[in-house]
Amino acid sequence: MSDLYTDTGSMSLIKRGEQLCGDHIEFRVDDRAAICVLADGLGSGVKANILATLTSQILATMSVGGMTIEDCVDTIVRTLPECSVRHVNYSTFTIVKIVDQRHVELTRFDNPHTVVLRGGKVYEFQYHSRMIDGKKIYFSSFDAEENDLIVVMSDGAIFAGLGKSYPFGWGRDNIVQYLEDHYSPETTAKGVATLLARECNRLYEGEPGDDTSFAVMRIARRSHVNLMIGPPSHQRLDSSITADFFAAEGMHIVCGGSTNQLAARYLGKEVETSLQYGDDDLPPMYRIEGVDLCTEGVVTISKVLDYAHEYLDSSQLNPAWKFSNDGASRVAQALFDAASDIHFFVGCAINPAHQNPDLGIAFGAKFQLIDQLAECLEKMGKRVSTRYY
């Protein structure tokens, strides 16, 4: 397995007065390739959303199905309808395909020119064009390097601040400068997309004049996070779950009072209760020498799941977990930002406290939470494994 992976993230602003975004972003990622399609539907609102969604999903599905990018574009362009009044196409698009974290194929039709950063500075690559059914399509390909950042955008980004902060809009050159000024190799793809969307929202003074979207892909080194929650179903498995957990490479998170006691016994250390709450609705954290993060169990993970749903909502510009220091926020930061590969070690013992009807925690809640959280993490592009004891 390669030590590198393609980190993906997106963020969108909806045009003022509309309920749906007229742009749509589709990511498809597997072990061999990562595909991103950003489509911008004509106009705004429901019709634009439908057109952009269909265009991006069709292109992504054909790409995953093994069709070459040229064949995908040829098919969609020849069938894409044209507005009879304005004589422009109903949807524009950009396609990025990264194969084995090594080779990038980039295709663009009427969307703004994609930005690539290499080493924190703009990397200018060459396009060649081809006419397909009377439409000019731009193609490019180049070899990728670790920490390369690829930023795809809709034209709402280019025109942010039009007639206000910038007489002719923010423009690509200013976007490039902003990216270079704020570059950090540790910033995730989602973080870059959010940073750009926040700035566009500021330039639009909180009322976007057009749908504005960013899709970001980043070639990054893999990072493992391991999370253990709950003691095992039988005491004889105590040593198995702890030995497997601590033998795994990467960051180690322990969730649950009993689980922290189990980890402390294995390490021969003491459990200390932190006096730092961070959030009055969440239990305090713990400290154990040799463990990166220690928190309460089901209540904390339930909050992490809420944050995961917020993360998958591409309109959340200022997520609470990003700027907080409570247990749930720190777990979210580790899983959403730091990790490419996440490994859950789940003990199957029944917690008597969870059988108290006054707590509102149903039997099996822990397993449901982990399953739902794993599903959300996979939607974020994470590689997730779960082991039960």
pLDDT single digits (tens) 225-267: 999 999 999 999 999 999 999 999 999 999 999 999 999 999 9
251 or 90, which is more confident: 251
Overall average pLDDT of the 130-154 stretch: 93
Q: What is the pLDDT of residue 323?
A: 86
Q: Residue type for 40, please?
A: D
Q: What is the pLDDT of residue 57?
A: 93
Rg of the chain over all Cα atoms, to the nearest angstrom:
23
At the topology level, CATH places domain 4-221 in Phosphatase 2c; domain 1 (3.60.40)
DSSP secondary structure letter of residue 187? S
Mean of all residue pLDDT scores within the chain: 91
Angle ∠(294,222,11) on CA atoms, nearest 5? 85
Does the pLDDT of residue 359 top 60, yes or no? Answer: no
Q: What is the pLDDT of residue 354?
A: 52
The residue ranges of every structural domain in the chain are: 4-221, 224-388
Q: What is the pLDDT of residue 132?
A: 83
Distance, in Å, from the CA atom of 158 to the CA atom of 172, rounded to the nearest integer, reads: 6
pLDDT single digits (tens) 271-305: 998 766 556 678 889 999 999 999 999 999 999 99
For the entire predicted model, the pTM comes to 0.90
Does the pLDDT of residue 219 top 80, yes or no? Answer: yes
Please give the structure tokens belonging to residue 94: 């950009």
Q: For 109-112, which contacts have Cβ atoms below 8 Å and span 24 or more sequence positions?
A: 109/73, 109/77, 109/135, 109/136, 109/137, 109/138, 111/38, 111/40, 111/152, 111/153, 111/154, 111/155, 112/153, 112/154, 112/155, 112/157, 112/158, 112/172
Does the pLDDT of residue 61 top 90, yes or no? Answer: yes
Q: What are phi and psi of 293, to 5 degrees?
A: -150, 130
pLDDT over 70, % of the chain: 92
Q: Alpha helices of 23-148 — where are they, by DSSP H?
A: 45-64, 69-79
Q: How many CB atoms lie within 10 A of CB 189?
A: 27
